[in-house]
């Protein structure tokens, strides 16, 4: 890919990733976030986090199926860091708008409410990934260790989806599309490995 094309695509990715936040910030300033702005902020940031995590998980299987798209890897770090950014805003909105900055309220929630425990777990799993996203960290850890560590993205995404299921009322199926997408993306990995092994096997007559 030409350097100029890459710059254009990266700029577009930045704009797309910042868009939900810009819309929220604009709405918050002008009080146009709808009837329940607190819930709107929390839902939008949570949804965007899951959306970005799902996209990052799609990059590897897509590259393996379509080698011509292998340049997509250049976008994964950016998307992953934006997922962390939205998760952080989601967390801060909880701390300020739901728990009212009360440490006691937060400890109560974490101890008593499994959907919050699961949400906090998902967030804490993303922290080491964000911290080791620099080239320096990759060099320091070595590619193999870095890859192993970043498998935590799978666990964090699954935790995020469980958090979503536990948050909605029993009988409400809103988290279903994410659940299906992530299940497919996670199963795609062993399936693609198996296909590759079969191809690599020498043909015996």
Partner 1 sequence: DTKLQTVKSPLSTTGEQLTSLEDITHYNNYYEFGVEKDMPAKNAGVLPTRPWTVSVDGLVKKPKTYDIDALLKFRPLEDRVYRHRCVEAWSMVIPWVGYSLSEFIKDCEPLSTAKYVQFLTFYDKKIDKWGTSETSIFWPYSEGLRMDEAMNPLTLLTFGLYGDVLPNQNGAPVRIVVPWKYGFKSAKSIVKVRFVDKQPETTWQQQNAHEYGFYSNVNPSVDHPRWSQKTERRIGLPFYAQRRTTLMFNGYGEQVASMYNGMDLRRYY
Q: Applying CB under 8 A, which residues contact partner 1? A: 28, 31, 33-39, 41, 97, 100, 105, 108-109, 112-115, 166-167, 169-174
Nearer to partner 1, 21 or 75 (CB): 21
What gap in Å lies between CA 64 and CA 62, rounded to an integer? Answer: 5
For residue 64, how far is the Cα from the chain centroid? 20
H or E element: which one contains 112?
A: helix 103-112
Nearer to partner 1, 113 or 195 (CB): 113
CB of 152 to partner 1, least distance (A): 26
CB of 174 to partner 1, least distance (A): 6
CB of 52 to partner 1, least distance (A): 21
H or E element: which one contains 195?
A: helix 176-200
CB of 22 to partner 1, least distance (A): 16
CB 192 within 8 A of CB 65: yes
Nearer to partner 1, 35 or 200 (CB): 35
Nearer to partner 1, 36 or 73 (CB): 36
Q: Give, rounded to a whole angstrom, the gap between the first and last alpha carbons of the chain.
A: 42
Q: At what angle do helices 76-93 and 37-65 cross, to 10 degrees?
A: 160
Assign residue 7 a region: left if phi > 0, alpha if psi is -120 to 50, beta otherwise? Answer: alpha
Nearer to partner 1, 144 or 169 (CB): 169
CB of 109 to partner 1, least distance (A): 7
């Amino acid at each position: 890919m030409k350097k100029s094309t890459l710059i254009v695509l990266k700029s577009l990715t930045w704009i797309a990733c910042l868009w939900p936040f810009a819309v929220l910030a604009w709405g918050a300033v002008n009080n146009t976030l709808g009837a329940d702005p607190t819930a709107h902020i929390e839902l939008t940031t949570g949804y965007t986090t899951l959306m970005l995590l799902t996209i990052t998980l799609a990059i590897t299987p897509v590259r393996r199926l379509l080698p011509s798209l292998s340049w997509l890897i250049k976008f994964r770090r950016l998307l992953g860091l934006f997922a962390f950014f939205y998760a952080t805003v989601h967390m801060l909105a909880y701390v300020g708008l739901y728990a009212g900055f009360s440490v006691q309220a937060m400890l109560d929630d974490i101890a008593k409410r499994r959907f919050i425990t699961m949400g906090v777990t998902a967030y804490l799993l993303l922290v080491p990934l964000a911290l080791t996203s620099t080239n320096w960290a990759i060099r320091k850890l070595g590619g193999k260790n870095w890859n192993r560590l970043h498998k935590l993205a799978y666990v964090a995404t699954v935790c995020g989806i469980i958090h979503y299921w536990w948050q909605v009322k029993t009988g409400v199926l809103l988290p279903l599309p994410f659940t299906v997408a992530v299940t497919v993306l996670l199963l795609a990995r062993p399936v693609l490995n198996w296909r590759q092994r079969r191809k690599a096997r020498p043909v015996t007559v």
